[in-house]
């Protein structure tokens, strides 16, 4: 199947706008991707047609909204090839999914003196919740380091795992380095020692085909807004056997079975972990985003984004004052860099004035910044809709900025 970039771009009305009178070049999909009309229309259809609160209404509107909401749960299960629909918990994002596990898993399984192994290349969302749990339980965080090329030193992992290790938390794809981590291998090492693994898939799911059963992750988290879907929706995949043993994260709403002043019994999975009125609109629009990803084809998207990555990397390497952070062979469409003598904020601001949306700063990854001894950098990240021509304009913009300095 050939990749029809014009057709793909035409699904995203926002890509045709101008910024400061320049055509928008959106190189910040790793932060949040743009939304196709299919997603916008799904939201509109719900509200024009059949909106109602789910799971609790005894009327047509509530039933229809509930049916669609639950169908999306099955769609998500199929998308990542999970075994059971009950293993798919809707949250408000990857961050909330990790916080849920960090609370509920650690409440049940983490004790004083225990250890959680966290990789050095994690987003803050996959560090801070573990630190909070460790403080609560008087446990300890152990670092799995990466080398200067941005590759995890997984040969160290077997030695870091001790009888006190209760969980390993690792990104599938780093949001700064772009490294695609060998999660299958990490999980296999961990499982040989009966240690469960949480994989942060926020930067992987929009770009790679994920097969949870093959990967055998115990927990896998991601956010809809990085997958061309709405913000405010996320997924926690958890193995049923773990989720069943974990206490609820929050109380109220659909998570109860019976409530009295003497006590409460909890609902079955997945509802035990879903409190209050969920993001009904968001979840239903998320279904449209997944259909859109499936129709475009993840293999085709991955191939296209890889060509963009190779093309941009080759061009950037011709700039002698530029340093790229993250040079793993297995990399997704993320390039973080600095140019000697130019502050990343200045660079980001000047790119913005030329219509190019890039990310600047610590990228919510202070431990990665610390590894390289920097305060921040600039990141460009690609989505299915970016083009080689946009990269050419970006490279020309960099040359112009370097001349200005």
Q: Of 68, 114, 115, 200, which lies in the binding site for ligand PLP, with binding defined by CB under 6 A?
A: 200
Does 316 engage in binding with ligand PLP (CB under 6 A)? Answer: no
Q: How far is the CB of 231 from ligand PLP (least distance, A)?
A: 7
Number of residues that bind ligand PLP (CB under 6 A): 14
Q: Is the dihedral of CA 167, 192, 171, 234 positive or negative?
A: negative
Q: Within 138-258, where are the H helices?
A: 157-160, 183-192, 212-215, 240-243
Stretch that binds ligand PLP, among 127-135, 196-204, 209-217, 259-267 (CB under 6 A): 196-204
The candidate with the shortest Cα–Cα distance to 335, out of 124, 208, 150, is 150
DSSP at 399: H
Q: How far apart are the first and last CA of the chain?
A: 45
Q: How far is the CB of 31 from ligand PLP (least distance, A)?
A: 6
Cβ distance to ligand PLP smaller for residue 234 or 398 = 234
Does 331 engage in binding with ligand PLP (CB under 6 A)? Answer: no
Q: How far is the CB of 171 from ligand PLP (least distance, A)?
A: 5
Distances (CA, A) of 273 to 97, 237, 314: 10, 11, 46
Cβ distance to ligand PLP smaller for residue 95 or 387 = 95
Contacts to ligand PLP from residues 125-184, by CB under 6 A: 125-126, 171, 175
Q: How far is the CB of 122 from ligand PLP (least distance, A)?
A: 7
Tokens 């629909």 sit on residue: 85
Q: What is the DSSP string of 118-166?
A: EETT--GGGTHHHHHHHHHHT-EEEEE-B-TTS-B-GGGHHHH--TTEE
Per-residue binding letters, 106-135, with ligand PLP (x by CB under 6 A): -----------------x-xx---------
Q: How far is the CB of 133 from ligand PLP (least distance, A)?
A: 17
Does 93 engage in binding with ligand PLP (CB under 6 A)? Answer: yes
Contact (Cβ atoms closer than 8 angstroms) between residue 379 and residue 333:
no
Cβ distance to ligand PLP smaller for residue 230 or 342 = 230
Cβ distance to ligand PLP smaller for residue 339 or 363 = 363
Tokens 């050095």 sit on residue: 120
Length in residues, the chain: 405
DSSP at 231: S
Catalytic residue among 197, 351, 364, 401: 364
Does 367 engage in binding with ligand PLP (CB under 6 A)? Answer: no
Does 94 engage in binding with ligand PLP (CB under 6 A)? Answer: yes
Per-residue binding letters, 16-45, with ligand PLP (x by CB under 6 A): ---------------x--------------
Cβ distance to ligand PLP smaller for residue 91 or 165 = 91
Contacts to ligand PLP from residues 202-241, by CB under 6 A: 202-203, 223, 225
SS3 41: helix
Distances (CA, A) of 76 to 72, 153, 355: 6, 32, 35
Question: What's the CA gap between 168 and 90, in Å, rounded?
Answer: 22
The candidate with the shortest Cα–Cα distance to 310, out of 326, 332, 295, 283, is 332
Q: What is the DSSP string of 271-319?
A: GGG--SS--HHHHHHHHHHHHHHHHH-HHHHHHHHHHHHHHHHHHHTT-
SS3 266: strand
Q: How far is the CB of 263 from ligand PLP (least distance, A)?
A: 33
Stretch that binds ligand PLP, among 43-51, 74-82, 91-99, 237-245 (CB under 6 A): 91-99
Is 364 an active-site residue? yes
Q: How far is the CB of 123 from ligand PLP (least distance, A)?
A: 4
Catalytic annotation, residues:
364
Binding site for ligand PLP (CB under 6 A): 31, 93-95, 123, 125-126, 171, 175, 200, 202-203, 223, 225
């Amino acid at each position: 199947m050939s990749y029809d970039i014009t057709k793909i771009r035409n699904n995203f009305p926002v890509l045709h706008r101008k910024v400061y009178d320049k055509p928008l070049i959106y190189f910040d999909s790793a932060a949040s991707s743009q939304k196709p009309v299919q997603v916008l229309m799904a939201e509109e259809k719900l509200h024009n047609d059949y909106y109602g609160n789910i799971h609790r209404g005894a009327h047509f509107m509530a039933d229809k909204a509930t049916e669609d909401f639950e169908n999306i749960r099955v769609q998500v299960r199929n998308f990542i090839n999970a075994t059971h629909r009950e293993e798919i918990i809707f949250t408000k994002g990857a961050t909330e999914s990790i916080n849920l596990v960090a609370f509920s898993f650690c409440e049940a399984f983490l004790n004083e003196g225990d250890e959680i192994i966290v990789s050095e290349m994690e987003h803050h969302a996959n560090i801070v919740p573990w630190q909070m749990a460790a403080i609560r339980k008087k446990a300890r965080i152990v670092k799995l380091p990466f080398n200067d090329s941005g590759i995890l030193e997984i040969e160290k992992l077997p030695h870091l795992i001790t009888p006190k290790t209760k969980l390993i938390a690792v990104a599938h794809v780093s949001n700064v380095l772009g490294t695609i981590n060998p999660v299958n291998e990490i999980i296999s090492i961990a499982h040989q020692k009966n240690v469960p693994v949480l994989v942060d898939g926020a930067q992987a799911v929009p770009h790679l085909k994920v097969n949870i059963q093959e990967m055998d992750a115990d927990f896998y988290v991601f956010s809809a807004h990085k997958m061309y879907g709405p913000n405010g929706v996320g997924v926690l995949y958890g193995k049923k056997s773990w989720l069943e043993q974990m206490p609820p994260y929050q109380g109220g709403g659909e998570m109860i079975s019976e409530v009295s002043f003497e006590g409460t019994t909890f609902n079955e999975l997945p509802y035990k972990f879903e409190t209050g009125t969920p993001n009904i609109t968001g979840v239903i629009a998320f279904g449209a985003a997944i259909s859109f990803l499936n129709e475009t084809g993840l293999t085709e998207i991955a191939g296209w984004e890889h060509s963009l990555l190779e093309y941009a990397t080759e061009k950037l390497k011709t700039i002698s004052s530029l340093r790229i952070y993250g040079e793993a062979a297995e990399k997704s469409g993320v390039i973080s860099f600095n140019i000697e003598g130019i502050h990343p904020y200045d660079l980001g601001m000047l790119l913005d004035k030329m219509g190019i949306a890039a990310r600047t700063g610590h990228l919510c990854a202070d431990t990665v910044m610390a590894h390289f001894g920097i305060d921040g950098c600039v990141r460009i990240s690609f989505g299915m809709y970016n083009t080689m021509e946009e990269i050419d304009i970006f490279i020309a913009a960099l040359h112009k900025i370097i001349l200005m300095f």
